[in-house]
């Protein structure tokens, strides 16, 4: 069997078009990104976010700060964006250089402008099942699952990876009332991981290990969501051995072109939600 390809591009484009329409109705909104230092991967991610913002007619500010900036200066820069009426959403690109305290930097973001859903207030709201700004990648994954009509109610979902930005929030969303999956989270210390993965109707992989998930770790017919982005000598690859797993899975996301476009788009969607909230 060859799996159905879950491309993120077409859905992302539809959502962006809707966001663009709503943004025009609101009379324009603004997103600011904050990059500290010049990490090449971060630079690419940020550039793509601004390109996507342009397509959704969202005004965007690309604040670049020196790698050796002090904690106080970084917090002051974020606070300036908090106070700026033209800015509805703020994203501080992580990771930050070693001398900076990420938790403190994130705390400085006004929760109503926290379009990456990383502030403890928003993370807490998600944990409690209340509507709030949530991280863009899990939001994009949920939208993809819905668009491809992957049934979650009563299904067994396995998430590999426990990061604050993907693994944990997607696990919480999957188990929430209304989605109702039964969720297991695996990580680098999990025993018998292949055996657990094989039980998944929905397998979500976010670890940053090229081709980690092999065909023998996948239940026939499962939906496999590959979040990983790994730069290798042969180009960009995911955390899933795509060529082998697509022969056994029911659905599979490609890398690139699966979760990535959804992440960029859901950041814009969050910026729209944040702008509405602030206008009210």
In 3D space, the residue among 49, 61, 97, 104 whose CA is nearest the CA of residue 270 turns out to be 49
* Relative orientation angle of helices 259-279 and 136-147, to the nearest 10 degrees: 110
- Which one among 198, 209, 215, 257 touches ligand NAD, defined by CB under 6 A? 209
Give the nearer residue to ligand NAD in terms of CB position, either 77 or 240. Answer: 240
3-state secondary structure (DSSP) of residue 47: helix
Q: How far is the CB of 26 from ligand NAD (least distance, A)?
A: 26
Active site residue 49: yes
- Closer residue to ligand NAD (CB): 70 or 188: 188
Contact window for ligand NAD (CB under 6 A) among 10-18, 82-90, 169-177, 181-189? 181-189
Find out whether 45 and 15 touch, Cβ atoms under 8 Å: no
3-state secondary structure labels for all residues of 70-94: CHHHHHHHHHHHHHCCCCCEEEECC
Query: Is residue 116 flagged as an active site residue?
Result: yes
Q: How far is the C-alpha of 260 from the C-alpha of 11, rounded, in Å?
A: 12
* Binding residues with ligand NAD: total (CB under 6 A): 23
User: Catalytic one among 88, 116, 226, 241?
Assistant: 116
- Kindly state the smallest distance separating residue 207's Cβ from ligand NAD, in Å: 3
Q: How far is the CB of 9 from ligand NAD (least distance, A)?
A: 13
Q: What is the secondary structure of 2-41 as a DSSP string?
A: -PEE--SHHHHHHHHHHHHHHHHHHT--EEEEEEES--HH
Candidate list 35, 49, 114, 168, residue with the active-site label: 49
Of 96 and 259, nearer to ligand NAD (C-beta) is 259
Residues composing the chain: 280
268: left (phi over 0), alpha (psi -120 to 50) or beta: alpha
Report in angstroms how near the CB of residue 84 gets to ligand NAD at its nearest: 27
Within 90-129, which residues bind ligand NAD (CB under 6 A)? none
Is 219 labeled as catalytic in the residue annotation?
no
Radius of gyration of the chain (CA): 19
Using CB under 6 A, which residues numbered 133 to 172 contact ligand NAD? 137, 160-163, 165-167
**Shorter beta-carbon distance to ligand NAD: residue 112 or 115:** 115
Among 53, 74, 218, 229, binds ligand NAD (CB under 6 A): 229
Q: How far is the CB of 217 from ligand NAD (least distance, A)?
A: 11
Torsion of CA 235, 205, 217, 214, to 10 degrees: 0
Among 169, 228, 250, 254, binds ligand NAD (CB under 6 A): 228
Among the listed residues 18, 43, 230, 278, the single contact to ligand NAD using CB under 6 A: 230
| Residue numbers annotated as active site | 49, 93, 116
């Amino acid at each position: 069997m060859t799996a159905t390809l879950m491309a993120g591009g077409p859905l992302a484009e539809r959502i962006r078009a809707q966001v663009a329409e709503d943004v025009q109705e609101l009379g324009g909104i603004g997103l600011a990104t904050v990059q500290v230092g010049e990490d090449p991967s971060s630079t690419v991610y940020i550039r793509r976010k601004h390109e996507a913002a342009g397509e959704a007619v969202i005004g965007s500010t690309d604040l670049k700060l020196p790698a050796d900036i002090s904690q106080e200066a970084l917090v002051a820069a974020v606070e300036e964006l908090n106070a700026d009426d033209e800015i509805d959403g703020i994203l501080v690109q992580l990771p930050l250089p070693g001398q900076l305290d990420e938790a403190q930097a994130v705390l400085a973001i006004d929760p109503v402008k926290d379009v990456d859903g990383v502030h403890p207030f928003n993370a807490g709201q998600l944990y409690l099942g209340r509507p709030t700004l949530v991280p863009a990648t899990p939001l994009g994954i949920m939208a993809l699952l819905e668009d491809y009509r992957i049934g979650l109610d009563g299904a067994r979902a396995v998430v590999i990876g426990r990061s604050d930005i993907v693994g944990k929030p997607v696990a919480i969303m999957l188990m929430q009332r209304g989605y109702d999956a039964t969720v297991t989270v695996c990580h680098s210390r999990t025993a018998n991981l292949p055996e657990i993965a094989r039980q998944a109707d929905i397998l979500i992989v976010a670890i940053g290990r090229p081709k980690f998930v092999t065909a023998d770790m996948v239940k026939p017919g499962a939906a496999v969501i590959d979040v990983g982005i790994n730069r290798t000598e042969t180009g960009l690859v995911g955390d899933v051995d795509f060529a082998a797993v697509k022969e056994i899975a029911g659905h599979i996301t490609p890398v690139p072109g699966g979760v990535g476009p959804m992440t960029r788009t859901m950041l814009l969607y969050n910026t729209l939600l944040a702008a509405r909230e602030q206008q009210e």
